[in-house]
Structure 1
Amino acid sequence: MVTEKNASRLGRRVERIKSIEKGTLSSIVEIGRELIAAEAECEHGEWASWLKTNFSWSVRTALRYRKVAEFCTACDAGAYGPEVTLGDMDISLSALYFVATMDKALAKSIALKAIDTRSL
């Protein structure tokens, strides 16, 4: 249990950490969107070698970024309902990677639960 003396100071740290975490998630989405655009600009078969040359990522890692970007883009477009946005979810990066690979109904259910837990 946090003492009253430390509660305020630690509360500010919680807000700061959550802000950084949201920034990290937003960065992952932007990286995914850039990877999608880069692949569209590559000739057939170029993307994997471009990826290896410019980043130390596997194709699998890049695909994870892309899946998150695709999921969040679909959320922003209302594909999961107006109540499902990345900003409203209390979700870790690992969970976001996982949800982004699920079928739409299951992903929406988990996203809504992540929103519900944020308000607790």
Structure 2
Amino acid sequence: MSLVVNLYYHGTNGSARRFAAEMESSGIADAIRAEEGNERYQYFLPLDDPETVLLIDAWKDQAAIDAHHASPMMAQLAELREKYDLHMDVERYVSDDSQPPSDERFIRR
């Protein structure tokens, strides 16, 4: 089981993309990836919305997310969100590994 959180960062005048670039260049993103229980931390740029950045953030379990939220780097994240005046939408998913996906025949590997 994994917990996957999709965070949509919305800004103006390219601020969301600058935020993601600073997260990467500052080492904060790499520090999050190195946290115990982190399975994925990756930014994506929607082709149809230049003012939004999608972060796919996956964790082993709720305890791993809770530890991340209690870490000192959350203050750094909050500062950067304020710096770039970002607003967020969040989607949260729990993976179901109990059965093979029924759509497997549609996936080209």
TM-score between the two structures when normalised by the length of structure 2 = 0.27
Higher strand share: 2
Structure 1 length normalisation: TM-score? 0.25
Between structures 1 and 2, the one with greater helix share: 1
Give the number of the structure with larger relative contact order, counting CA–CA contacts within 8 Å between residues 6 or more apart: 2
Structure with higher Rg: it is: 1
